[in-house]
Structure 1
Amino acid sequence: MQSPLFGYTENQSQDRYTLQNPQMLRVTLAGHDDILARKGTMVAYQGMMEFDGEYQTPGQRRARAHTGEGLDLMRCSGQGTVFLANLAQHVHVVDVDRDGLTVDSAYVLALDSGLHWEAIAVDSQFGISGSGAYNLQISGQGKVALMTSGQPLMLQVTPDKYVNADADAVIAWSTSLRVQMQAQTSSSSVFRRRGNTGEGWELSFLGQGYALVQPSELLPPQNAAIGQGMAAQYGMGQHGAHGQNQGNIWSNR
């Protein structure tokens, strides 16, 4: 049998994390270095591998219940190679260092089991779609595999050059950055969903670090309302940051 498909062979590498292709992650395990992966993302494996549901600590359960942010994970262990993918999204491997990484949990594909995470509030008077009122702050030494819809844009932030990005397109940013949320519309139209511009909430990043933006905005239906009443439709009330997440931090420990 002959076919161009036989050109898509396994990517040979000694690295722990390798991109098999832009939409698939290849992870090599040596028997003592488990990883945590999003549930249901294993597409193939070789060797003696085991997949178990990851136990959620009381801290993780509290974080999920109060913030909606959390990670549905499985533990991958053993000796061999596992291939991970999710809806053909583009995969990117990031080294988490002392600066830490803040990310929307919806874009995490896998991470080293030794990393620590906690849910933090994005300070604002209003809730937003996309990045959400809460995000995950990942710290420690290790790697995280992120997913984006299409090839992303990495924006460098310096003290003399801050960056603004649409909150619906932001994937992750350096934890060391200061973040402010604001509306792109004028004050007269801020209470109408995205005003007349098609633009809405944005995140402003200041300090030293980077912000990752994808070429896709995950928008809610224009007339969708979370909860009841006008306040809920525009991200205020009990579903807005002003109502529920002033300085709250929820840990997985």
Structure 2
Amino acid sequence: MQSPLFAHTEVQSQDRYALQNDKLLRVSLNGHEDILARQGSMVAYQGMLEFDGEYQTGGQQRARAMTGEGLSLMRCSGQGTVYLANLAQSIHIVDVDHDGLTVDGAYVLALDSHLHWDVINVDSQYGISGSGKYNLAISGQGKVALMTSGQPLMMQVTPEKYVNADADAVVAWSTSLRVQMQSQTSSSGVWRRRGNTGEGWELSFMGQGFALVQPSEMLPPQNAMVQGQGLAAQFGMGQQGVHGQNQGNAWS
């Protein structure tokens, strides 16, 4: 049998995490250290591997129930190679260090099992007044594989140059950054999202670090729904907002 498909053979790499292509992650397991991966994200594997549901602590379970934010993970263990993907999203490997990483849980594909994560409220974490936004704070030293819709933009934040981004387009940022949540409105259109611009809540980042933004303000199109009507939906809040409308789809 002959086909151009045979050009897409396995990537040979000594790295634990390697990209087979920009939408497929290859992880090598040596039998000593497990990884945690998004449930259902395994597309193929070689070797003697096992996949088990990952236990969540009581605190993580309560945070998930209260906020809807969290990680549904499986533990991958054994010796071999596993390939991970989710809805053909673009995949990016990030080294987490002492600065930590704050990320929306919808964009986490896999992470080293020794890393620690907690659900945080951006409001309470940074003393911001407003509607609040829940994310995951990942700490420790290790690797995390993130997903984005399309090729993202990594923006550097310095004390002299802060960054503003649409809250629905932000994927992750350095935990060391100071964050403010705001909604820019005009007096004539205060009950609309950003007046007549269609824009809603923004996150402003200050300090020293990075903010990762994707070229999309919605979850993947496979199960994306039209934004609801009403005041709450216009501000992206509640069950009629973008986040609420996408609950229960393949990314949530």
TM-score normalised according to structure 2 size = 0.86
Partner residue in 1 for 2:149: 149
Structure-2 residue corresponding to 1:245: none
Mapped contact 2:200–2:236 kept (Cα < 8 A)? no
Given that residues 178 and 205 in structure 1 are in contact (C-alpha distance below 8 angstroms), is that contact kept between their aligned partners in structure 2? Answer: yes
Alignment of 1:68-79 (within 5 A): 68-79=68-79
Letter aligned with residue 75 of structure 1 = R
Aligned AA for 1:69? E
Separation in structure 2 between the aligned mates of residue 235 and residue 6 of structure 1, nearest angstrom: 45
> Which ranges of structure 2 fall in alignment gaps of 5 or more residues?
220-224, 242-252
1:185–1:197 contact (8 Å) kept in structure 2: no
- Summarize the Cα distance change of 1:169–1:121 in structure 2 as closer, same or farther, 3 Å threshold: same
Read off the aligned partner of 2:228 and give its amino acid letter.
N
Task: Give the % identical residues.
Answer: 78
Matches within 5 A, 1:6-85: 6-85=6-85
Match of 1:127 in 2: 131
Q: Is the 8 A contact 1:185 1:199 kept in 2?
A: no
Match of 1:63, SS?
A: helix
Name the structure, 1 or 2, with higher relative contact order (CA <8 Å, separation 6+): 1
* CA distance 1:29–1:224, change in 2 (3 Å): farther
Contact 1:92/1:146 (CA < 8 Å) preserved in 2? Answer: yes
Secondary structure at 2:189's aligned position in 1? coil
Q: Given the superposition, is the C-alpha separation of residues 36 and 179 from structure 1 closer, same or farther in structure 2, using an over 3 Å criterion?
A: same
Change (3 A) 1:205 1:49: same
Query: Could you tell me which residue of structure 1 aligns to residue 249 of structure 2?
Result: none
**Correspondence for 1:191:** 191
- Pair 1:14–1:185, CA change in 2 (3 A): same
- Structure 2 CA distance for partners of 1:20 and 1:156, relative to 1, 3 Å: same
Question: Mean Cα displacement is larger for which, 116-125 or 86-95?
Answer: 116-125
TM-score, length-scaled by structure 1: 0.86
- For residues 93-242 of structure 1, the aligned pairs below 5 Å read 93-123=93-123, 124-127=128-131, 133-218=133-218, 221-224=226-229, 230=231, 234=235
For 1:116, the aligned partner's letter is H
CA 1:231–1:152: 2 relative to 1, 3 Å: closer
Other structure's SS at 1:59 match: helix
Q: Is the 8 Å Cα contact of residues 229 and 240 (structure 2) preserved in structure 1?
A: no
CA contact (8 A) 1:127 1:239 kept: no
Distance in 2 separating the partners of 1:146 and 1:233: 28
Name the CA distance, whole Å, in 2 between partners of 1:102 and 1:202. 16
CA distance in 2, matches of 1:221, 1:185: 23
Deviation, 1:199, is 1.4
> The residue matched to 2:62 in structure 1 has which SS?
helix
Structure 1: how far apart are the matches of 2:75 and 2:187? 48
Question: d(CA) in 2 for partners of 1:81 and 1:181?
Answer: 41
What's the RMSD between the two structures over aligned residues?
2.2
- 1:157–1:207: 8 Å Cα contact kept in structure 2? yes
Distance 2:27 2:228 in 1: 42
Amino acid in the other structure paired with 1:85: A
Distance 1:7 1:24 in 2: 15
Deviation at 1:238, TM superposition (A): 11
The answer to whether the 8 Å contact 2:93/2:143 transfers is yes
Conserved in 2, the CA contact under 8 Å of 1:193 and 1:222? Answer: no
Name the CA distance, whole Å, in 2 between partners of 1:45 and 1:237. Answer: 40
| Distance apart, 1:224 and its partner CA | 4.1
Shift of 1:159: 0.2
CA distance in 1, matches of 2:187, 2:5: 55
Aligned structure 1 segments of 4 or more residues deviating by more than 2 angstroms: 124-128, 187-191, 219-225, 230-240
